[in-house]
Amino acid sequence: MNSIQEMTMDQIAPNHSVRDLERLQEDEAAAKAAGFAVAPPMYALGTPCISLGHENYRASRQQFEQLPLARPVIESLVQRILLEDRRDATVGVNSLVMLDNGQISRGNGGMALSEESLKQLMSRTACPEPGAAATYFTTISPQVRAREVNHWLRATADKKDLVLRHRRTLTSQGGNGRQVYAVVSPKYKAFDVDELARTVEGLVGRLIPGECRADVKYDGISGEICLYWHSNVQPERVCAGEIFKARAGIKSSDDGTQALTPFAGMFRNLCLNFICIDEAQQTFGKRRHMGSDLHRVIYGGLNDAVDSVRFFAEKWDTAKSDQLRDIVRDYPERCTDLQLAAGAFRGIVKQQQLSLPGVKRGETVDELMKSFNQEPEYTRAGLVNAITRTAHEVPLRGAWASEDVEAVAGKVLAAATRSTKVLQYVESGEAF
C-alpha cells in the first residue's frame, strides 16, 4: 500500500475547501446534465490532491498549451488534402482490366491500387470469398494476380457499376501518378476529411467556445479532428473528482470503412496524485456515407457534441474575461481603448519578438490593428484573434511564416493562466 492509500480520511478531510467543493459539485452536475456518465472519485469529492497531483496537473495543462490553435492546424489539413487532387469515377465492372504491373485500367492508363482498395474491388465482383482472395493475391506475382482478378471482373454482371476514388500520389508508383484509394458503391456519399475540416473550421470562433486547441490525425484514409479545452484552475486547488479537460470532434474514413462519428469526452481526476483519470464519452449522430441530408446531420451532430462540453469550455475561457485594462501594465491613464490595444500590440512585438515576414517592421502594428478593427474586442482573446487573422489574411513571405505568427498568438493565449499584468504597453514612437 502506498503512502497515499495509507492516508486516513481524518488526515484528508480538514483540508477540504468549501469553495472547491461547490465548484466540483457544479461541474459534476453540469457533466451529468450533458449526458456524461462520469465515474465517482476514489476519495471524497473535493479532497485536495497531494504535491505529486499538482505537478501532474501542471503537466496536463502544459501538454494542452503545446497543442496548436484550432484554426491553423485545421486549415493545414484542408490544404494537404487539396494537394491530393481527389477525384471519383463511376465505371462498369466489366470496363476494368488489371494490367500485368498490378495497376487497374479503364483503357486510359493505369492507376495503382492500395491493398484495401483491392479488397474492396474484389468484394464487388462475383468472387465468393473476396477477402481471402485479396489476401492471396498479395502472395503471387503481378502477372498471375492480373489473370485472377480479370477472371472475376469478367464474371461479374455486365451492368454492375462501382466508383473508383483516386488521387494524385506524392511518390512515384508508375502509371499516371494516381492511386485508387477506395472502391465504393455509387450510393456512397462523399464527405471527406477535408470537408469535415471545413465544417469544423466554420464553427471555430463562432459556435465553438473558449481557448480551443486541436489535435488532428490523418493517415491518408482515416481522419480525426479533436478540439480540446482545459481547466484553468490553479494546480494547488486541484482535487479528487476534478473535471479538468473536455474534448469534442469528429472522425471518419474516406473509403467507407468507418462511419462519420461526432463525439465528445470529459476527463476527470479520480485520485490524489492525478494519475487515475477517467474519460466519459458520447457519440452524436453517427452516420454512414449515405443520404442527401448527410451534411445537415453531421453539422447537427458536431453542434450537439460541442454543446455537451460548452459549459466547461466557456467556464475555462480566461482569454474572453481578461480585459486589456487588467492585463496590460504601464499604460497612461489618458489611453483610449483603441490606443491601449495598439500599445499592447507594440508590447507584443517587443516582448514576443513578433514580426510579419514581408511587411516592413514599422508597419507591423498597423497590420495588426487593421485585423483587430475588423472585430474589435478589448480582451486578451481580441488580441489573439487579431494576430491569427493577420497570419492568414496578410500576404507573408516564407513557407512557415503564418505558423510562426500563430505561435506568438499561442504564447499570448497561454499566458492567461500564469499571471495578470503580463502584457507591456509601449508608447507610439518608442523604439521596439
Write down the residue that cell numbers 495497376 correspond to: 103
Q: Residue 210 — pLDDT band, cuts 50, 70, 90?
A: low
3-class secondary structure per residue, 141-158: CHHHHHHHHHHHHHCCCC
What average pLDDT does the chain have?
87
What's the pTM?
A: 0.74
Q: Are residues 111 and 166 in contact, defined by beta-carbon separation less than 8 angstroms?
A: yes
Measure CA of the first residue to CA of the last residue in the chain; give whole Å.
Answer: 58
Residues 290-299, mean pLDDT to the nearest whole number? 88
Domain map (residue ranges) of the chain: 3-79+192-316, 87-184, 320-424
Q: What integer pLDDT is reported at residue 174 of this predicted model?
A: 45
Are β-strands 161-168 and 213-218 bridged in parallel, bridged antiparallel, or unpaired?
A: unpaired
Confidence of residue 412 (pLDDT cuts 50, 70, 90): confident
User: Which pLDDT belongs to residue 423?
Assistant: 87
CA separation for the pair 57, 245 (Å, rounded): 10
pLDDT in tens, 318-356: 666 678 888 898 899 889 999 999 999 999 998 877 889
Q: Angle CA(229)–CA(343)–CA(368) in degrees, nearest 5?
A: 65
Q: Which residue has the higher pLDDT, 280 or 325?
A: 280
The C-alpha atoms of residue 154 and residue 96 are separated, in whole angstroms, by 9
Band of pLDDT at residue 18, cut at 50, 70 and 90: confident
- Tell me the pLDDT tens digit for each residue of 357-373: 999 888 999 999 999 99
Extended beta strands in 254-299, E state? 261-269, 277-283
- Is the Cα torsion angle 69, 74, 79, 83 positive or negative in sign? positive
pLDDT value, residue 201: 83
Q: With 50 as the cut, is the pLDDT of residue 422 above it? A: yes
